[in-house]
Structure 1
Amino acid sequence: MSYKTIMVHMDTSARASARLSLALKLGRRFGAHLDGLFAAFEPRPREFYVMAGTADYYDTHRKLRREQRGAIERLFRAELARAQVDGAWVTAEGDPVTAVMQRSRSADLVIVGQTDRDDPESYIAEHFTETVLLGAGGPVLVVPYAGSFESVGERVLVAWNGSREAARAVHDAMPFIARAAHVTIVAASATASLSASTSIVPAERQASCADLAAMLARHGATKVEITRFDRDAAAATGDALLSFAADGGYDLLVMGAYGHARLQELVLGGATRSILATMTLPVLMSH
C-alpha cells in the first residue's frame, strides 16, 4: 500500500509554505503525485454591491487575491521542481469548501492546516477542517499551525477504541504504519476510572488491541507495542492523548474522527474537537 496521489490545501496563511514543505517530503517518500489546491475565503460580491460605496473594496480584494494566488503558485511550482516531485497546481472554482471536498475524493491523502485564530488568512469557512474531514471520503492529515515537523510517521501513535472510525483511520494510515520505526497502540477510552489516577482497559478492548497489533505486523510494521493509557479521571481524552504523544516523542497521531454525531461533539466537546483545537503534532484522521 502507498499514497500515489496527495493533495495539499494551499492558501494565503502564514503556514502554507510549511504545509507545502511537508507535502513535498511525503511526495518523495511515497513516490506520489502532488496536487496543490488553492482555496481561500472569498466574500460574496452581493454583500459588497448592496452597500453603497463598497464595490471598490471588493474589486481591490479580488486584485490582491489574484496577486497572492500568483505568488503562491510560483512558489509551489518552484518547490515542486526543486524536490523533483510530479504534481499539478489547481485553483478552486466556486465555494472553496466544496472544491476541497470534491477534489479530495480523488486523492489518497489530503493535507490541510489547523485553523490559526491569530492568522485571519487561515480562515476559509466556519468549521472548515471538520467539514473536510467528514466529506473527504479518505484520510486527512491535519498539520498544526505551530511547530516544525522534520519527520512525520517515524513514531506513530494509534488511538484505538475499536470503533469503525478508528478502524478506517488505521487502514488509511497503513502506508505510514508499514514504514514506521515504532508503532504504539493505545486504548483510548472515555470509560470512567476505577481510581482517581488510572484508567482500566476492558478485557475485550485488550483483545481487540492484540488483534490489531497482529494485523499491523502482517502488513510489515516491524515494532508494534500495546500500551496502557493512564490518565486522570477528569482529563479530556483528546488532551490526555496529546500529552501522551508529547511525552513519548511521537510524530504522528492516527485516530478516527467523529465517532459521535458531529453536532453532539461540537456542542459537548469530544476528542475530535479537542484534538483539532489544541493539537501539537500532525494528526491523521478518518471518518
Structure 2
Amino acid sequence: MVQDTLQTVAAPRGATADLRDTSSEPGRAAPSYRTLLVVADAADDASGRLRLAVSLADRFRAELIGVAASQVEWPVFVSEYPQAVDQILRQEEERAAEDLSSARTLFEREAGERKGAAWFQAVAAPLSFVHKHGCEADLLVCGRRGPTDPNPGAMGVGPGDLVMAVGRPVLVVSPGIDQLGGKRIVIGWKDTREARRALADALPFLARAEEVTIALVGRDASRHDGELPQAFLRRHDISADIVVDNRVEDFIAARLVEIAVEGAADLLIVGAYGHSRAREWAFGGVTRDLLDGSQICTLLSR
C-alpha cells in the first residue's frame, strides 16, 4: 500500500549556496545560451513574449533572432470563378504582408538598437519556417497556445509541434508574462530520456538560480528517483532540494505548477511527451496539460 506522503529532502551539506554566476571562478564559466530565437506573431501577448526574450538575451549576453511567417490560405479553386479566386489570393497576400510588417515593427521596438539582433520573415508555413531557423539557436521562445489563449492568426506556431520538430529546448511563455526572473526553478522529474534532456538543456537557467527544486509527483514517485538528477546538478555546482508528493495520481501537471507557485518559482522544467504524443492528446498527459494551461513559463525538451 502506498502511503500519502509529501516529503522535502534538503540538498546535501557542502553544496554551493550561491550559484547565480560562476563565471568569475578560475577555469570555470557558467553555462549559457549563445543565441535565442523568439517567435513573433499577431497574438495580443506577442509584445510581452518579445520583451521577455530581449531580457533573456541581455542576461545571457546572447544574440537574438526574431522569426515570423504567415500562411496564405489558398481558396478552393472553382473553375467557373477564376477572377474571384485571384482576388481572394491577392487579399490573402496583402493580409500576410501586413501581419509580417506588424510583427517586424513590434520586434524592432522591443529589441531596440541592440547588437546581434536579426530578423527573418517569409510568406510560408510558420512551423516549417521556425524549424528552419531553429537550427541557429540554443533556445527557442514561443507563446502558449491553450484553448482560451490569444489567437495568433495565420502566424501561429503550436509549442507542442515545435518541441516535437525542432530538436532544441523550447521556452513556452504564458499570456500576460513579460519577465522571467529564474531565481527559483522547479524541475518536474520522472526518469525518462526526455526529462534527462531537459535537465541538461536548462543548465544555463539552473546555474543562475538561487533555489532549485526537483519535484516528483505521482503514486510511484520516490525520493530515491530524485537523487541521481540531484547528483548531476551537484557536479555542476548547483544545489537542489527534492520534493516528493505521492498523494496525486491524476492532474500531475497542475500539481507541478502548484509546487512551483507555492515556492515562488517562475520557471518549470520538464521533458516533453514521455508517452507517445498521440496517446497524450487522446487520453491526456502532463505535456498537453502544461501546454494548455500552465500559468508560469515552462521549458520543454525532447
TM-score normalized by structure 2? 0.81
Q: Is it true that 1:185 corresponds to 2:214 in the alignment?
A: yes
Runs of 4+ off more than 4 Å: 48-51, 122-125
Q: Is it true that 1:224 corresponds to 2:240 in the alignment?
A: yes
Would you say the 8 A contact 1:209–1:226 is kept in 2? yes
Shift of 1:122: 4.7
Would you say the 8 A contact 1:9–1:39 is kept in 2? no
Larger Cα-atom Rg? 2
Distance of aligned partners of 1:257 and 1:13 in 2 relative to their CA distance in 1, 3 Å threshold = same
Q: Counterparts in 2 of 1:118-267, with a 5 A limit?
A: 118=148, 119-122=150-153, 124=155, 128-145=158-175, 147-189=176-218, 191=219, 201-202=221-222, 206-221=223-238, 223-233=239-249, 235-267=250-282
Shift of 1:250: 1.1
Identity percentage of aligned residues: 31
Distance of aligned partners of 1:201 and 1:112 in 2 relative to their CA distance in 1, 3 Å threshold = same
Structure 1 unaligned regions, length at least 5: 192-199
Shift of 1:123: 5.7
Between the aligned partners of 2:41 and 2:115, the Cα distance in structure 1 is: 20
Shift of 1:54: 4.6
Would you say the 8 A contact 2:268–2:297 is kept in 1? yes
Structure 2 unaligned regions, length at least 5: 1-30
RMSD, aligned CA: 2.2
Q: Counterparts in 2 of 1:72-151, with a 5 A limit?
A: 72-82=103-113, 84-118=114-148, 119-122=150-153, 124=155, 128-145=158-175, 147-151=176-180
Between the aligned partners of 1:225 and 1:19, the Cα distance in structure 2 is: 30
Which of 94, 98, 102 is equivalent to 1:63?
Answer: 94
Q: 2:27 maps to which residue?
A: none
Between the aligned partners of 1:255 and 1:280, the Cα distance in structure 2 is: 15
Q: Is it true that 1:271 corresponds to 2:286 in the alignment?
A: yes
Would you say the 8 A contact 1:165–1:256 is kept in 2? yes
- Structure having greater relative contact order (Cα 8 Å, sep ≥ 6): 2
TM-score normalized by structure 1? 0.85
Between the aligned partners of 1:120 and 1:265, the Cα distance in structure 2 is: 23
The superposition leaves residues 156-178 of structure 1 with CA deviations (integer Å, 9 ceiling, x where unpaired) of 10011111100000000000000
Higher share in helix = 1
Q: How many residues align?
A: 269
